[in-house]
């Protein structure tokens, strides 16, 4: 795949505090690309969704009262990716499969191995100046031609396509591809995950930021809450 032609020419973006889609870069590891990550070109939309059930715990004789909410297992992260079909690069090739002119892959049933996707949300200069270099969860990215920018990375690991569609219409010229993707895991690319992940709202660590429920249950103003 050739990602150096004019279709991949980049422009400038407005510097705002509100995140803009122009600064949301989506990367994959295209078929035949020895250097690894490459930006997905001509993507018209990138959407994320995930969910989990929350069980209500109640007690007989305790009135109409929820004792506790217990989170269930989180469903796999879902990605919806829409892009323009290229003669020399379809979505199969874009995520590493030997499709199109690169090989025999023409269907989801031909996918034998999963793929990764990386999301890079580039901070505006305003946001980068406000966060400063001390924020560990932002990456400093050095550009090959000089200069650098700050971005937040998210890795969608071991993904599989669960649907693919494309259509040719007599009413329009350009052809798009739509795919729904399911991810095995979601990471930031450098942190250690596990039972001791510091996720915030911890009453043993964050004090006033935690829920009132974890203060003194006999008072209206639990310990540590103002």
pLDDT greater than 50 at residue 197: yes
Coil, helix or strand for 184? strand
67-103: per-residue pLDDT in tens? 999 999 999 999 999 999 988 889 999 999 999 999 9
Residue 224 has a pLDDT of 47
Of 114, 120, 89, the closest CA to residue 21 belongs to: 120
Coil, helix or strand for 126? helix
Of 79, 92, 102, the closest CA to residue 181 belongs to: 79
Alpha helices in the chain (DSSP H): 91-94, 125-131
C-beta separation of 160 from 179 below 8 A: no
Token pair listed for 142: 């050095």
107-121: per-residue pLDDT in tens? 999 999 999 999 999
How would residue 105 be classed by pLDDT, with cut points 50, 70 and 90?
very high
The per-residue pLDDT of the chain, averaged, comes to 85
Which of 39-48, 112-121, 215-224 bottoms out in mean pLDDT, i.e. has the lowest? Answer: 215-224
Residues 6+ apart with CB under 8 A from 175: 84, 85, 166, 167, 168
Cα separations (Å) of 114 from 9, 51, 110, 134, 189? 29, 22, 11, 35, 17
Best-predicted range by mean pLDDT among 4-18, 155-169, 208-222?
155-169
pTM summary value: 0.84
Instruction: Parse the chain into domains and list their residue ranges.
Output: 6-49+79-193, 195-226
Query: Most distant CA pair in the chain: distance in Å?
Result: 71
Q: Taking the CB of residue 71, how many other CB atoms lie within 10 A of it?
A: 9
- Token pair 């078929």 in the structure block, residue: 31
Of 18, 27, 51, the closest CA to residue 153 belongs to: 27
Structure-derived torsion over alpha carbons of residues 130, 136, 139, 140, reported in degrees to the nearest 10: 60
The CB-side HSE value for 159 (13 A sphere, CA atoms) comes to 27
Residue 60 has a pLDDT of 95
Residue 146 has a pLDDT of 64
Q: Computed over its alpha carbons, how large is the radius of gyration of the chain? A: 23
């Amino acid at each position: 795949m050739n990602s150096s032609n004019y279709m991949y020419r980049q422009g400038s973006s407005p510097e705002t505090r509100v995140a803009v889609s122009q600064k949301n870069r989506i990367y994959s590891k295209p078929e035949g690309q020895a250097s690894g990550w490459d930006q997905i070109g001509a993507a018209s939309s990138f959407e994320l969704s995930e969910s989990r059930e929350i069980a209500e715990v109640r007690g007989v004789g305790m009135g109409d009262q929820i004792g506790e909410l217990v989170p269930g297992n989180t469903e796999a992260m879902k990605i919806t990716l829409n892009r323009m079909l290229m003669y020399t690069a379809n979505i199969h090739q874009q995520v590493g499969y030997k499709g199109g002119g690169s090989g025999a892959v023409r269907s989801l049933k031909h996918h034998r191995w999963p793929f990764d996707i990386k999301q890079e949300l580039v901070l505006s200069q305003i946001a980068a100046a406000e966060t400063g270099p001390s924020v560990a969860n932002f990456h400093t990215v050095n550009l090959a031609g000089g200069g650098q920018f700050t971005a937040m990375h998210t890795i969608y690991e071991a993904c599989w396509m669960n649907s693919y569609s494309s259509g040719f219409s007599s009413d329009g010229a350009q052809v798009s591809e739509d795919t729904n993707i399911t991810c095995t895991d979601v990471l930031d690319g450098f942190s250690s995950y596990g039972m001791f992940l510091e996720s915030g709202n911890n009453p043993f660590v964050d004090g006033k930021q935690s829920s009132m429920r974890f203060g003194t249950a006999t008072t209206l103003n639990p310990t540590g809450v103002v």
